[in-house]
């Protein structure tokens, strides 16, 4: 299997996972008033299920958010939230809301 390439597509407000020249999945987001990235929905195409696309997508998107200087993320999407829960080194990206 080839490596998954994760790209931010700001025009579509989503991070996209590409594998073998095809879009394999995406993580939809919006930007809050304070410039936080709000992940709302993640989807992996059936043909790419079980190949690590979702995990690569979550890691790539969160690494990009960290590098961008955004204040953090709000993981409304259950997949992104669950991934962060399993990878504590990314918990510092999650904005705490009061």
pLDDT value at residue 96: 82
pLDDT digits (tens, 9 = 90+) for 33-49: 999 999 999 999 999 99
Q: Which residues of 57-96 are buried (b: 16+ CB within 10 A; e: fewer)?
A: bbbbbbeebeeeebebbbbebebbbebbeeeeebeebbee
pLDDT value at residue 14: 98
In a domain, 27, yes or no: yes
How many residues in total does the chain contain?
Answer: 98
In a domain, 66, yes or no: yes
Distance CA 69, CA 55 (A): 22
pLDDT digits (tens, 9 = 90+) for 19-76: 989 999 999 999 999 999 999 999 999 999 999 999 999 999 999 999 999 999 999 9
In a domain, 98, yes or no: no
Predicted model pTM? 0.94
Contacts of 17 by beta carbon, 8 Å cutoff, 6+ apart? 4, 5, 6, 23, 24, 25, 26, 44, 48, 53, 54, 56, 57, 60
**Total structural domains in the chain?**
1
CATH number where 56 lies: 3.40.630.30
pLDDT higher than 70, residue 1: no
In a domain, 62, yes or no: yes
pLDDT higher than 70, residue 2: no
pLDDT value at residue 98: 54
Q: What range defines the domain where residue 28 resides?
A: 5-93
Contact 45, 79 (CB under 8 A): no
């Amino acid at each position: 299997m080839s490596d998954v390439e994760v790209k931010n597509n700001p025009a579509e407000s989503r991070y996209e996972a590409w594998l073998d020249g095809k879009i394999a999945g995406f993580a939809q987001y919006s930007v809050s008033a304070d410039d936080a990235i709000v992940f709302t929905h993640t989807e992996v195409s059936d043909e790419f299920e079980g190949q690590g696309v979702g995990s690569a997508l979550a890691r790539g998107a969160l690494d990009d958010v960290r590098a961008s200087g955004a204040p953090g993320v709000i993981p409304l999407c259950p997949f992104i939230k669950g991934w962060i829960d399993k990878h504590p080194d990314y918990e510092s990206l999650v904005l705490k809301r009061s």
